[in-house]
Amino acid sequence: MRAVQAVEFGGPEVLTVHEVPEPVAGPGEVVVEVAAADVMFLDTRLRGGWGGDYFQLDTPYVPGGAVAGVVTAVGADVDPSWLGKRVTTATAASKIGGGKPIGGYAEKALAKAATLTTVPDRLGLPQAVALAHDGQMALALMERAVIQPGEWVLITAAGGGLGTLLIQLVRAAGARVIAAARGQAKLALAQRLGADVVVDYSEPGWPTAARAATGGAGAHVVLDGAGGALGEGALVAIADGGRFLGYGMSAGEFAAPDAAVTERGVTVYGLMDVTDPDTDWHRLAERSLAEAAAGRLEVVIGQTFPLDEAGSAHAAIESRSAVGRTLLTIGSAV
């Protein structure tokens, strides 16, 4: 079968298509004929050689931690009723809060039967895999943040896959959204999805503008998908006693709030606080798919690429030109 391999650590050009052996389902596993694979910002960082302290990867490897498609084979101890079902799933090597996000950029991928989620008939497989990471994380963030009607919520990286879902969920909770993103295309998308205020964080003074939008009191909640200096800048816009949830690092690293933030009574949650071991990720995955299938949650897929253009997908993400979710479309079941 055909699969994308990172043949060495480096730029997008190291991603090339190769013929590799088809996967074989072992105990507790299935083989999925892949229709679409998720492409994450994390994939680009790992390809570039970042993260060796967290992910022990040796080249060549097949990137990609989540796929959607049809189950074509099951292990000896797996319920055969999975055969032929449309599913979305993490790859066998990947899991929330650990594992290695590898194996997905391929015509067929291994997955654990325990991580399979059936895709509703009314939902396409590309939309399903676009929710594989973002859907459950968005709902987990909402449960942790406990957002109340009327609150102001500042969302950074608002034009990305997760940010676009959070805009909709926060609005559905009755709160008001300040969407922070880079460039007119992402800001226009945020407005269309319901953001009350948009700010361009490529412009100087954006945190002050975000705070001013609240009447000067500051945002009750910051949902920070950007991290780094952008996430730290968002702390200027947060109200005393607010809640800061830092879960993303699209700016390069996670935000690092200083002691002055806690002195203001701000409660800070990091990624590990959100990805609690007791979180029922399967429940959240099913709920996100159901919300999208019912039309209550729009899944924004900004760009798709065929398997042999995986490098272009990575380049789009790294250039910050990608809007919403980025996918590889692979099989005929799309």
**Domains held by the chain: number:** 2
Whether residues 265 and 155 share a domain: the answer is yes
**ω before 60 within 30° of 0 (cis)?**
yes
Residues 6+ apart with CB under 8 A from 314: 12, 15, 39, 43, 44, 47
Asked whether residue 64 is assigned to any structural domain, the reply reads: yes
The overall average pLDDT reported for the chain is: 94
Give 227's contacts (C-beta < 8 A, 6+ positions apart): 246, 248, 249, 250, 251, 252, 253, 254, 255
Residues 144 and 59 in one domain: no
Please check the confidence at residue 290 and state whether its pLDDT lies above 60.
yes
| pTM recorded for the entire structure | 0.94
Order of strands, sheet of 197-200, starting from the edge strand that comes earlier in the sequence:
197-200, 176-181, 152-156, 219-224, 238-246, 267-269
**What percentage of the chain reaches a pLDDT higher than 90?**
85
- Reported confidence tier of residue 54, pLDDT bands at 50, 70, 90: confident
Q: Calculate the alpha carbon distances from 76 to 25, 83, 84, 169 in Å.
A: 8, 12, 16, 41
Tell me which residue of 225, 263, 220, 193 sits closest to 211, measured CA to CA: 220
Structure tokens at 80: 């055969």
Structural contact between residues 65 and 94, judged by C-beta atoms closer than 8 angstroms: yes
Concatenated DSSP letters for 177-208? EEEEESSHHHHHHHHHTT-SEEEETTSTTHHH
User: Does the pLDDT value for residue 180 go beyond 70?
Assistant: yes
- pLDDT at residue 334 tops 70: no
- Residues 182-194: pLDDT tens digits? 999 999 999 999 9
CATH of the domain at 65: 3.90.180.10
Indicate whether 279 belongs to any domain.
no
- pLDDT tens-digit series, residues 62-95: 999 999 999 999 999 999 999 999 999 999 999 8
Q: What is the pLDDT of residue 67?
A: 98
Residues 153 and 223: beta-carbon distance below 8 Å: yes
CA distance 49 to 45: 7
With cut-offs at 50, 70 and 90, classify the pLDDT of residue 332. low
Are 154 and 105 members of one domain? Answer: no
Question: 220 and 159, same structural domain?
Answer: yes
Evaluate if residue 138 carries a pLDDT over 70. Answer: yes
Full domain range(s) for residue 16: 2-122+299-329
